[in-house]
Structure 1
Amino acid sequence: MSAVSTALTDSAIMLRRNLKHTTRNPVTVFNAVLFPIVIMLMFVKVFGGAFNVGDDYVDYSTPGMLVMAVSYGLGATATSVNYDMTKGIINRFKTMDVSRGAILSGHVIVTTVRCLVASAAIVGVAFAMGFDPNASAADWLGVLGLFLLLAIGASWLTVAMGLASKTAESAGLAAVPLIMLPFLSSAFVPADSMGAGVKQFAEYQPFTPIIETLRGLLFGGVDSGDAIAAVAWCVGLAVLGYVWAVSSFKKRA
């Protein structure tokens, strides 16, 4: 068996293992899939009437909720990765000659799959509340592609955080900034409506151009600057996370 096929087989095994762990942990399922829906219902049904965004609030907020679907599952990933590193499981895998790359990629893939499930739930609930995009099939493919880039990039960065943390608790806390960033972006209100300082932070942080690009794909009028920045941020997060994760793994495994 070639090295490539061995790595793919090991990755599939690790993916199955991590999926089982996810489905057996109701807290992880709630945080990753159900809590973004709760946030969406709260903002649209409770706060939405107070925001002047020029459109139906469900149309405005859905792109931001898709980003929330990524960020809210990251704490579980960081904790799971750290648990593997600190509880001796990696040593067991080493005795079984499991591909080291498969151990990391398994966490990334299961996090991405979890994000896709959460995003599908978000879109379904949005349509039930009157979501009315005018996106073409090509636009929806663009939404899916950008969402996958974000999920993969955020997953690698979170895996790296989990590897670098000393305990599972600190690993979970390390992911909190990524969870909070959507609240300080254009996810819920336009950045132009924010106060000085917060407005500039919202404009130049990673999630705002990603959200604006998703919004443009769904409703027309994608800004090329936002699109370039969105892709650059996603790729940059993935590269940073991958290099950091591999370096930390080699030091600790």
Structure 2
Amino acid sequence: MQAALEDAGIMIGRSLRHASRGLDTLLIGVLLPVLLLLLYVYVFGGAIAPDGRYLTYVVPGIVLLCAGYGAAGIAVPVANDMTTGVIDRFRSLPILPSAVLIGHISASVIRNLSSTMLVLAVAFAIGFRPVAGPVEWLIALTVLTLFIVAMSWVAVCFGLIASSVESASSFSFVILFLPYLSSAFVPVETMPAVLRGFAAHQPLTPMIETLRGLMIGTPVAGQAWVAVAWFGAILIVGYAIAGRLFARRTAR
């Protein structure tokens, strides 16, 4: 058990070091969330809600969009590991094989929670005033971590089946697009009927509404349980598929 934890710790450190050395990763992980927040508040916010309330509405959606986009990004380093022969070198060492994936997942959680804190700090600086207390913030952090872990395992699956690093990167753009078809930026009921059904029933909407309710006090109702059910199932399925794909790829 101790050896497995040590192996995982080494791989977590490796993944974090790789992320810190990549300028594009730092720009996407740190600047993109802030730029998106400022774009929606100051460029679109005046047209959507001239009284300034749009900042309060949009922050949970921006948080989820950036966390999802960041989590999806680990498809690239996973694909890089699988296509450059690094995994073959790791197999020759006395380390736990799954430590490689655990390192990627753990680094994703740490990196994306850090970028979330940055987004929230900027939001506070420009006027965001949530009503959440310590309990609500703890629950929000828990469900956000569930979301990041679930999306990270899905990203691992894409990284394992990708034939190249370039093809693995396309998964990030899919995840970047999905929040626009949810309640992240506008209420679902304002959408055309053809989009409303999808937006109301896709998994991102209950997660966003849960975060919004916890942060600013809007009704959550059963949205939290729906969000947990969705992303708990996604996590389990993603983990199972990633485990089988990794075993198949490393058995060669």
Fold match by TM threshold 0.5: yes
Query: Match for 1:18: what amino acid?
Result: S
**2:180 matches 1:179:** no
- Cα deviations across residues 98-119 of structure 1 (Å, max 9, x unaligned)? 2111111100001111110110
Query: Match for 2:211: what amino acid?
Result: L
Moved more, 17-26 or 228-237: 228-237
Of residues 107, 128, 143, the one that matches 1:110 is 107
User: 2: distance between equivalents of 1:78 and 1:175?
Assistant: 8
Q: CA deviation at 1:76?
A: 3.1
**2:100 matches 1:100:** no
Query: Match for 2:77: what amino acid?
Result: S
Unmatched segments (≥5 aa) in structure 1: none
Q: CA deviation at 1:54?
A: 8.4
Q: CA deviation at 1:81?
A: 0.1
Contact 2:71–2:109 (Cα < 8 Å) also in 1? no
Of residues 84, 88, 94, the one that matches 1:91 is 88
Query: Match for 1:232: what amino acid?
Result: A
CA distance change for structure 1 residues 18 and 95 in 2, over 3 Å: closer, same or farther?
same
In structure 2, what is the equivalent of residue 191 of structure 1?
188
Question: After the TM superposition, which residues 2-21 of structure 1 pair with which residues of structure 2 at under 5 Å, given as runs?
Answer: 4-21=1-18
Q: CA deviation at 1:170?
A: 1.0
Q: CA deviation at 1:177?
A: 1.6
Of residues 213, 219, 237, the one that matches 2:234 is 237
Contact 1:31–1:72 (Cα < 8 Å) also in 2? no
Contact 1:164–1:248 (Cα < 8 Å) also in 2? yes
In structure 2, what is the equivalent of residue 226 of structure 1?
223
Contact 1:53–1:60 (Cα < 8 Å) also in 2? no
CA distance change for structure 1 residues 42 and 7 in 2, over 3 Å: closer, same or farther?
same
Q: CA deviation at 1:55?
A: 6.8
Q: CA deviation at 1:52?
A: 4.1
In structure 1, what is the equivalent of residue 68 of structure 2?
71
CA distance change for structure 1 residues 53 and 136 in 2, over 3 Å: closer, same or farther?
farther
Report the TM-score, using the length of structure 1 for normalisation. 0.95
What SS does the aligned partner of 1:73 have?
Answer: helix
Q: CA deviation at 1:53?
A: 9.5
User: 1: distance between equivalents of 2:112 and 2:192?
Assistant: 31
| Aligned-CA RMSD value | 1.4
Report the TM-score, using the length of structure 2 for normalisation. 0.95
In structure 2, what is the equivalent of residue 145 of structure 1?
142
Moved more, 214-223 or 112-121: 214-223
CA distance change for structure 1 residues 75 and 152 in 2, over 3 Å: closer, same or farther?
closer
Query: Match for 2:94: what amino acid?
Result: D
CA distance change for structure 1 residues 41 and 55 in 2, over 3 Å: closer, same or farther?
closer
Of residues 120, 142, 157, the one that matches 1:123 is 120
Moved more, 29-38 or 141-150: 29-38
What SS does the aligned partner of 1:224 have?
Answer: coil
Of residues 45, 51, 75, the one that matches 1:48 is 45
- Cα deviations across residues 104-144 of structure 1 (Å, max 9, x unaligned)? 11000011111101100110010011001111110111111
User: Percent sequence identity over matched residues?
Assistant: 39
Unmatched segments (≥5 aa) in structure 2: none
User: 2: distance between equivalents of 1:244 and 1:175?
Assistant: 19
